[in-house]
């Protein structure tokens, strides 16, 4: 039922937006001439090719409605998914205190020993260095 209601509302809003856009562009649709400054001589598509102009208007209206419907449908799906998922609180894992550390090496500036504590051992570790710097 919710799916049908969402599609009906999306269709109605699409129709409203479609009518609004057609109302904005109605002067172009009802024009007696539409001149394109093409190359040297101007080109009037309405008087030269009236059937093609009618087909262009029909194709534009169909594509406009489909585009508006798809955009509003995607937006409504996105909004519904945002409402459904509650925000989960992150539980912090507490590890028991221990003296387990991994000795990595000495800091080159201060000559202090560098250790990775037990929490850090449960994460990914990337060790880089030049050739022969004892990375194994």
User: What are the pLDDT digits (tens) for 21-45?
Assistant: 989 988 888 888 888 777 677 778 8
Evaluate the CA torsion angle 24, 25, 31, 34 in order and state its sign.
Answer: positive
Q: Which pLDDT belongs to residue 51?
A: 92
Tell me if 127 sits within 8 A of 135, measured CB to CB. yes
Alpha helices by DSSP H, listed for the chain, are 2-29, 45-48, 50-84
Q: Which pLDDT belongs to residue 10?
A: 87
Long-range contacts of 101-110 (CB under 8 A, 24+ apart): 105/134
Based on C-alpha coordinates, what's the Rg of the chain? 33
Indicate whether 1 pLDDT > 90: no
Q: Which pLDDT belongs to residue 20?
A: 92
User: What are the pLDDT digits (tens) for 58-101?
Assistant: 999 999 999 999 998 888 888 777 766 666 666 655 555 667 77
């Amino acid at each position: 039922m919710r799916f049908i209601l969402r599609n009906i509302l999306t269709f109605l809003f699409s129709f409203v937006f479609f009518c609004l856009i057609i109302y904005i562009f109605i002067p172009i649709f009802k024009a007696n001439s539409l001149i394109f400054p093409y190359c040297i001589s101007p080109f009037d598509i309405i008087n030269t090719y009236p059937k093609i102009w009618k087909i262009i208007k029909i194709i534009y209206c169909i594509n406009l409605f489909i585009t508006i419907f798809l955009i509003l449908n995607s937006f409504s799906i996105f909004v519904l998914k945002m409402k459904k998922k509650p925000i989960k609180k992150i539980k912090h894992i507490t590890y028991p205190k221990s003296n387990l550390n991994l000795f990595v090496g000495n800091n080159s500036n201060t000559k202090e020993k560098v250790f990775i504590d037990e929490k850090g051992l449960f994460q990914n570790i990337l060790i880089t260095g030049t050739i022969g710097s004892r990375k194994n």
